[in-house]
Each structure stands twice: as structure tokens, then as C-alpha cells.
């Protein structure tokens, strides 16, 4: 992926961003869109973006909100009814002492901003932050932008590439300050069960680490529900739970995410945000409020979308079964398939990038190379795309793999 030295013709980037790489997930979908606009019939399995329209009851609520004057600044941390709704939902999960209140909630411009703000206020120079790997590309960069060091902790191949408390403990040093968790996981779709997540939370509590738990895919599961860190944590003293409406409600463009944090952390995140973006769009907050409070319609809409993801996942797995040498993590949540393409020949040892390039050039299919998630022998395929695109795209992926890697494992 390009870093700023190749992007920044004519200026020397500041030390803040000198090491920064642009987001590979965003770059793949931008390229797929550009090729489509130029007339190529690209099947985009790169973007992790639901292809559904935002449910009608949410769109209508937003229209009403605009007409009622939701066109001005709001409190930096978000409108009170939305924060109250988020706190109420969280209280339904949290088993520890003391209620979660609206003052513990900060609404931001997507969960991406919540994650960045949390990293920025919690970590700094000299700190190490454990990042289970593979992980979503932006965690590594967010930690680095906070001038801390992201320590990639390889997941266990025998456990769907998930990390264990033991693996985290082995990677920790006296400088470890925190750990980034994400279940269901982007890019693998793996789900941590209560025992796995509970053991990690226990270790973090013992060591006084901050836990940032990104639960943006929590409502998208295909078997048992994914536990929230809120259900398992003994207390919230060092816990920041991040979520949003983008994935479950097909609301990526509305840009509403939030963090539930100890009060002092929430206040620091709000102060930081007051100098950068201020509040996220007022109308978007009212749309998110409808998503969280019009429960019956919301449940129906989410269930219908999850059923579609589920059917696509099953169809994709049936197709992959025709190429038994192609390994993958069986996804129990989110909408990604992570494929082991390390047997594909490459000049530079980056089999995932070689395969992704070949798929795009020879088969018009866009996927994200595993190097974005610090695991170069893999590619990520998103099935948050129209049914036909997923079906045809996965067939081409399977055929291309058979052609390039044959029976090699």
C-alpha cells in the first residue's frame, strides 16, 4: 500500500504522518469504483459496506428531523436522547457495578472516529498496544498516529486466527498499555465465545491494560450471538466499547459511531473532538436514534439483512468446497471471508497481493490483499455485495485459485 512519501509529490509530510499508509480497504473500493466508472464490469468484493438501502423507517425519521430543524450544531458528544438510548441498550448487557449513563457515551463521525479518539486519548509515546492479527487495517495506523507502537499478535491458526489470553500475555512487555479487540472480527468473520473473550478481559484487568472493544459487527452473526465485552467485564474502569449503526443498519454514509467509556475518558474524547470535528451531523444522529429506539422495525430490518448475508455466506462456502486446497477461516459473523492463498506464486513473497492483482486484472474481481491486515498470504473477500455479484465473484475466485495454485496447499 502506498505511503505518504509516494503520495505527497512536492511536499515533505510532517513527522505526524510520515509513516502513514492510506487505508487499503478504502483504496480497493475507490479503485473498483473508478474502474467501473471507466466501463470495466468490476465485481467489488473489496468494500466492507452493506449493499442494502438504509431501512425506510430510518430515512423517514431523518426527513422529519430535518423539517423539525435538525440542521444546527449539537452538543459535541451528541444529542442527549441518542446517548440515552445507547446507554440504555448498554445497561441491558452490562453486569458490573453502577449504571452506564449518557455522560459515559460520546457519539462521533462513525465508529472509526470513536476508535481513533480512544487511541489518541489513551495511548502515547513509549506505549505498546497489542493488536490481534489479522486485524482491520486502521487499528495499526490509529495506534501509530497516537505515537504509540502497535504490537501485532498473531492469532492461532487452530482457532480461526483468534488470539488467546496466553498469546497476548506472551507478547506483552512492561510497556503494554492496551489491547484492541474486535469480535466478530474484520477480516476473518471469527467470533470470540464467552470463555475466550472472558479470559482476555481477565488478563487485561490483571495487567491494568486498556481494552478497546470494537463491536461494530456484533449484530451480524450466523450461529450463537457474539458476546459483548460489556456482558463479561467485571467492571468498566479500563474498558472502551465502540459501536455504531453503519454495518447492522446499512448506514455507512450517515457516519454515526460511539464509544462507551469511563466518564473521565469520555470527557477527554469529547474535549478532543470539540477541536476536530465537533458533533457528527445532526440529521444523522436523529436517524441513528430511530434505528435504536424504533425497536420492532429495527429488529425486523436487521434480521432481514443478516438473513441475506447468511445465505450469501452459505452459497460462497458451497462454491469454495469445489477447491478443497483453498483454505479459509469459517466465518460465524461479520460479512467477510478470509482465504489462505499462500500457495499462489509471487515474486516478492506477497501471495495475497499477487492473487488480488490477478483477480482484478484477469477476472474483474476486487478483493483486499491480506497485507492490509498484516497477513500477506491471504485475501479478504466481502459478501456485503449483491447476491449475484457474490455468487459470480466467488466462482471466479475459486477458478482463479485452482488455475494459479492448482492442488498446492
Whole-number minimum distance, CB 129 to ligand GLU, in Å? 18
Question: Does the footprint of ligand GLU cover residue 113 (CB under 6 A)?
Answer: no
User: CB 103 → ligand GLU: shortest distance, Å?
Assistant: 28
- Nearer of residues 74 and 221 to ligand GLU, judged by Cβ: 221
Comparing CB distances to ligand GLU, the nearer of 48 and 155 is: 48
**Which positions ≥6 away from 79 have C-beta within 8 Å?**
107, 282, 285, 286, 289
135 binds ligand GLU (CB under 6 A): no
Judged by CB under 6 A, which of 4, 8, 13, 23 binds ligand GLU?
A: 23
Distance CA 406, CA 323 (A): 9
The phi and psi torsions of 336 (rounded to 5 degrees) equal -125, 150
Residue 26 interacts with ligand GLU (CB under 6 A): yes or no: yes
Cβ atoms of residues 187 and 333 within 8 Å: no
Which distant-in-sequence residues (6+ apart) come within 8 Å of 399 by Cβ? Answer: 363
Tell me the C-alpha distance between 42 and 33, whole Å.
8
Among 186, 221, 342, 371, binds ligand GLU (CB under 6 A): 186
Alpha helix ranges (H) inside 328-382: 351-363
CB 206 within 8 A of CB 176: no
Rounded to the nearest whole angstrom, what is the least distance from the CB of residue 277 to ligand GLU in the complex?
16
Please tell me whether residue 47 binds ligand GLU under the rule CB under 6 A: yes
Residue closer to ligand GLU (CB basis): 54 or 138 = 138
Residues whose CB is less than 8 angstroms from the CB of residue 231 and which lie 6 or more positions away in sequence, other chains included: 93, 94, 95, 194
| Total residues binding ligand GLU (CB under 6 A) | 10
Selected binder of ligand GLU within 94, 120, 136, 378 (CB under 6 A): 136
Q: Give the other-Cβ count within 10 Å of 176's Cβ.
A: 21
CB of 121 to ligand GLU, least distance (A): 21
Q: Are strands 378-382 and 336-340 parallel, antiparallel or unpaired?
A: antiparallel
Interface segment toward ligand GLU; rule CB under 6 A; list 45-53, 235-243, 268-276, 292-300: 45-53
Name the residue with the smallest CB distance to ligand GLU. 48
Rule CB under 6 A: is residue 257 a binding residue for ligand GLU?
Answer: no
- Per CB under 6 A, does 25 bind ligand GLU? yes
Length of the chain: 409
Scan residues 137-156 and list those touching ligand GLU (CB under 6 A): 138
- Residue 243 contacts ligand GLU per CB under 6 A: no
Nearer Cβ to ligand GLU (109/211): 109
Verify binding: residue 30, ligand GLU, rule CB under 6 A.
no
Instruction: Return the residue of 42, 43, 48, 108 that touches ligand GLU, per CB under 6 A.
Output: 48
Residue 17's alpha-carbon distances to 110, 143, 374, in angstroms, are 21, 12, 19
3-state SS, residue 378: strand
HEC letters along 103-129: HHEEEECHHHHHHHHHHHHHCCCCCEE
Nearer to ligand GLU, 48 or 370 (CB): 48
Judged by the rule CB under 6 A, the positions of this chain that interact with ligand GLU are: 23, 25-26, 47-49, 112, 136, 138, 186
Amino acid at each position: 500500500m502506498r505511503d505518504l512519501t509516494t503520495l505527497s509529490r512536492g511536499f515533505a509530510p510532517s513527522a505526524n504522518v510520515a509513516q502513514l499508509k492510506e487505508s487499503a480497504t478504502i483504496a480497493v473500493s475507490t479503485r473498483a469504483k473508478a474502474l467501473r466508472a471507466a466501463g470495466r464490469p468490476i465485481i467489488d468484493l473489496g468494500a466492507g459496506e452493506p449493499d442494502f438501502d438504509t431501512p425506510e423507517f430510518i430515512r423517514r425519521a431523518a426527513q422529519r428531523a430535518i423539517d423539525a430543524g435538525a440542521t444546527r450544531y449539537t452538543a459535541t458528544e451528541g444529542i442527549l436522547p441518542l446517548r440515552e438510548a445507547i446507554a440504555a441498550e448498554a445497561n441491558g448487557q452490562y453486569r458490573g457495578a453502577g449504571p452506564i449513563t449518557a455522560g459515559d457515551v460520546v457519539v462521533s463521525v462513525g465508529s472509526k472516529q470513536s476508535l481513533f479518539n480512544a487511541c489518541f486519548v489513551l495511548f502515547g509515546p513509549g506505549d505498546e498496544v497489542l493488536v490481534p492479527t489479522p486485524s482491520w487495517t486502521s487499528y495499526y495506523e490509529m495506534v501509530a498516529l497516537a505515537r504509540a507502537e502497535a504490537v501485532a499478535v498473531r492469532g492461532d491458526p487452530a482457532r480461526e486466527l483468534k488470539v488467546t489470553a496466553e498469546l497476548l500475555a506472551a507478547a506483552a512487555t512492561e510497556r503494554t498499555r492496551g489491547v484492541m479487540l474486535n469480535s466478530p472480527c474484520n477480516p476473518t468473520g471469527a467470533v470470540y465465545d464467552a470463555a475466550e473473550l472472558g479470559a482476555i478481559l481477565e488478563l487485561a484487568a490483571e495487567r491494568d491494560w486498556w481494552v478497546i472493544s470494537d463491536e461494530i459487527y456484533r449484530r451480524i452473526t450466523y450461529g450463537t450471538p457474539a458476546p459483548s465485552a460489556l456482558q463479561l467485564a467485571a467492571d468498566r474502569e479500563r474498558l472502551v466499547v465502540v459501536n455504531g449503526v453503519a454495518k447492522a443498519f446499512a448506514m455507512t454514509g450517515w457516519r454515526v459511531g460511539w464509544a462507551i467509556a469511563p466518564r473521565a475518558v469520555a470527557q477527554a474524547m469529547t474535549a478532543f473532538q470539540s477541536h476536530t470535528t465537533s458533533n457528527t451531523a445532526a440529521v444523522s444522529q436523529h436517524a441513528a436514534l430511530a434505528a435504536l429506539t424504533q425497536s420492532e422495525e429495527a429488529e425486523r430490518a436487521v434480521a432481514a439483512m443478516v438473513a441475506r448475508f447468511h445465505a450469501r455466506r452459505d452459497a460462497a462456502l458451497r462454491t469454495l468446497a469445489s477447491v478443497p486446497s483453498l483454505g479459509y477461516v469459517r466465518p460465524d459473523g461479520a460479512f467477510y471471508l478470509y482465504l489462505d492463498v499462500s500457495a499462489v506464486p509471487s515474486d516478492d513473497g506477497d501471495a495475497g497481493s499477487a492473487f488480488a492483482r490477478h483477480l482484478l486484472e484477469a477476472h474483474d474481481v476486487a478483493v483486499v490483499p491480506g497485507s492490509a491486515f498484516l497477513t500477506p498470504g491471504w485475501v479478504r473477500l466481502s459478501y456485503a455485495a449483491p447476491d449475484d455479484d457474490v455468487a459470480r465473484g466467488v466462482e471466479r475466485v475459486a477458478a482463479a485459485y485452482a488455475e494459479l495454485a492448482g492442488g498446492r496447499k
